[in-house]
Amino acid sequence: AQSVAQPEDQVNVAEGNPLTVKCTYSVSGNPYLFWYVQYPNRGLQFLLKYITGDNLVKGSYGFEAEFNKSQTSFHLKKPSALVSDSALYFCAVRDSGSARQLTFGSGTQLTVLP
Partner 1 sequence: DVKVTQSSRYLVKRTGEKVFLECVQDMDHENMFWYRQDPGLGLRLIYFSYDVKMKEKGDIPEGYSVSREKKERFSLILESASTNQTSMYLCASSLGEDLNTGELFFGEGSRLTVL
Q: How far is the CB of 102 from partner 1 (least distance, A)?
A: 5
Give 29's contacts (C-beta < 8 A, 6+ positions apart): 95, 96, 97, 98
Q: How far is the CB of 71 from partner 1 (least distance, A)?
A: 21
SS3 51: coil
Are 21 and 10 spatial neighbours (Cβ–Cβ below 8 Å)? no
The backbone torsions φ and ψ at residue 102, rounded to the nearest 5 degrees and listed phi first, read: -85, 145
Contacts with partner 1 by CB under 8 A lie at 6, 9, 32, 34, 36, 41-46, 49, 51, 90, 92, 94, 99-107
Closest to 61 measured CA to CA, from 32, 39, 92: 39
Q: How far is the CB of 36 from partner 1 (least distance, A)?
A: 8
Nearer to partner 1 among residue 51 and residue 83 (C-beta): 51
